[in-house]
Structure 1
Amino acid sequence: MSNSHPLRPFTAVGEIDHVHILSEHIGALLIGEEYGDVTFVVEKKRFPAHRVILAARCQYFRALLYGGMRESQPEAEIPLQDTTAEAFTMLLKYIYTGRATLTDEKEEVLLDFLSLAHKYGFPELEDSTSEYLCTILNIQNVCMTFDVASLYSLPKLTCMCCMFMDRNAQEVLSSEGFLSLSKTALLNIVLRDSFAAPEKDIFLALLNWCKHNSKEDHAEIMQAVRLPLMSLTELLNVVRPSGLLSPDAILDAIKVRSESRDMDLNYRGMLIPEENIATMKYGAQVVKGELKSALLDGDTQNYDLDHGFSRHPIDDDCRSGIEIKLGQPSIINHIRILLWDRDSRSYSYFIEVSMDELDWIRVIDHSHYLCRSWQKLYFPARVCRLVLMVNK
Structure 2
Amino acid sequence: MDRHAVDILNHESFTSLSEFSVREIISRDSFCAEEVQIFRAVASWAKGNPEAEVSQVLKEIRLSLLSIQDLLKVVRPTDLIPPDVLLDAIQSRTESKDTELRYRGYKIPEENVALPRHGATVLVGEVKDALLNGDNKNYDMERGFSRHPIDEAGDKGIVVKLGMPCILNRINLLLWDRDQRAYSYYIEVSMDQKDWIRVVDHSKHHCRSWQYLYFPARVVRYFRIVGTHNTVNKVFHVVTLEALYTEQIQNLDLGLIIPQSNVATLDHSALVTEGVCRSRNALLNGDTSNYDWDSGYTCHQLGSGAIVVQLGQPYALDSMRLLLWDCDDRSYSYYIEVSTNQREWEVVCDRTREACRSWQLVTFKRRPVVFVRYGLVKENR
Which TM-score applies when normalising by structure 2?
0.58
Matched, 1:272 2:108: yes
Question: Does the 8 Å contact 1:328/1:385 carry over to 2?
Answer: yes
What are the within-5 Å matches in structure 2 for residues 276-291 of structure 1? 276-291=112-127
What are the within-5 Å matches in structure 2 for residues 72-221 of structure 1? 165-221=1-57
CA positional deviation for 1:375? 0.4
How many residue pairs were aligned?
228
2:198 counterpart SS class: strand
Unaligned runs of 5+ in 1: 1-164
Tell me which residue corresponds to 1:65.
none
Matched, 1:348 2:184: yes
Tell me which residue corresponds to 1:332.
168
Question: Does the 8 Å contact 2:105/2:219 carry over to 1?
Answer: yes
Question: Does the 8 Å contact 2:159/2:225 carry over to 1?
Answer: yes
In structure 2, C-alpha distance between the alignment counterparts of 1:233 and 1:388, rounded to whole Å: 31
In structure 2, C-alpha distance between the alignment counterparts of 1:181 and 1:299, rounded to whole Å: 46
Matched, 1:301 2:137: yes
Tell me which residue corresponds to 1:247.
83
The 1:188–1:369 alpha-carbon spacing in structure 2 relative to 1, beyond 3 Å, is same
CA positional deviation for 1:169? 1.1
Identity percentage of aligned residues: 54
In structure 1, C-alpha distance between the alignment counterparts of 2:85 and 2:124, rounded to whole Å: 40
2:106 counterpart SS class: coil
2:40 counterpart SS class: helix
Give the letter for the 1:211 counterpart.
K
Question: Does the 8 Å contact 1:226/1:266 carry over to 2?
Answer: yes
Give the letter for the 1:227 counterpart.
L
In structure 2, C-alpha distance between the alignment counterparts of 1:291 and 1:166, rounded to whole Å: 35
In structure 2, C-alpha distance between the alignment counterparts of 1:307 and 1:189, rounded to whole Å: 47
Structure having the higher Rg: 1
Tell me which residue corresponds to 1:229.
65
User: Deviations for 1:351-381, whole angstroms, at most 9, x for unmatched residues?
Assistant: 0001110110011110000100000001111
User: Deviations for 1:69-99, whole angstroms, at most 9, x for unmatched residues?
Assistant: xxxxxxxxxxxxxxxxxxxxxxxxxxxxxxx
Give the letter for the 2:51 counterpart.
K
In structure 1, C-alpha distance between the alignment counterparts of 2:123 and 2:178, rounded to whole Å: 26
2:212 counterpart SS class: strand
Question: Does the 8 Å contact 1:338/1:374 carry over to 2?
Answer: yes
User: Deviations for 1:104-152, whole angstroms, at most 9, x for unmatched residues?
Assistant: xxxxxxxxxxxxxxxxxxxxxxxxxxxxxxxxxxxxxxxxxxxxxxxxx
RMSD: 1.1
Tell me which residue corresponds to 2:203.
367
2:147 counterpart SS class: coil
The 1:306–1:201 alpha-carbon spacing in structure 2 relative to 1, beyond 3 Å, is farther
In structure 2, C-alpha distance between the alignment counterparts of 1:305 and 1:321, rounded to whole Å: 20
In structure 1, C-alpha distance between the alignment counterparts of 2:200 and 2:25, rounded to whole Å: 31
CA positional deviation for 1:185? 1.3
Give the letter for the 1:363 counterpart.
V
1:350 counterpart SS class: strand
Question: Does the 8 Å contact 1:297/1:308 carry over to 2?
Answer: no
User: Deviations for 1:236-260, whole angstroms, at most 9, x for unmatched residues?
Assistant: 1110000111001101111222232
2:85 counterpart SS class: helix
User: Deviations for 1:172-195, whole angstroms, at most 9, x for unmatched residues?
Assistant: 111112222222111111000011
Unaligned runs of 5+ in 2: 229-381
In structure 1, C-alpha distance between the alignment counterparts of 2:118 and 2:38, rounded to whole Å: 23
Question: Does the 8 Å contact 1:284/1:324 carry over to 2?
Answer: yes
In structure 1, C-alpha distance between the alignment counterparts of 2:88 and 2:214, rounded to whole Å: 34
Answer with 288-297 or 304-313: which moved more.
304-313
Give the letter for the 2:26 counterpart.
V
2:214 counterpart SS class: strand
In structure 2, C-alpha distance between the alignment counterparts of 1:236 and 1:176, rounded to whole Å: 26
In structure 2, C-alpha distance between the alignment counterparts of 1:315 and 1:362, rounded to whole Å: 19
Structure ranking higher in strand proportion: 2
In structure 1, C-alpha distance between the alignment counterparts of 2:133 and 2:152, rounded to whole Å: 30
User: Deviations for 1:247-302, whole angstroms, at most 9, x for unmatched residues?
Assistant: 01101111222232111111111111101000012111000111211111111122
Question: Does the 8 Å contact 2:170/2:213 carry over to 1?
Answer: yes
Give the letter for the 1:367 counterpart.
S
Tell me which residue corresponds to 1:3.
none
2:56 counterpart SS class: helix
User: Deviations for 1:152-185, whole angstroms, at most 9, x for unmatched residues?
Assistant: xxxxxxxxxxxxx111111211111222222211
Greater RCO structure (CA 8 Å; 6+ sep) = 2
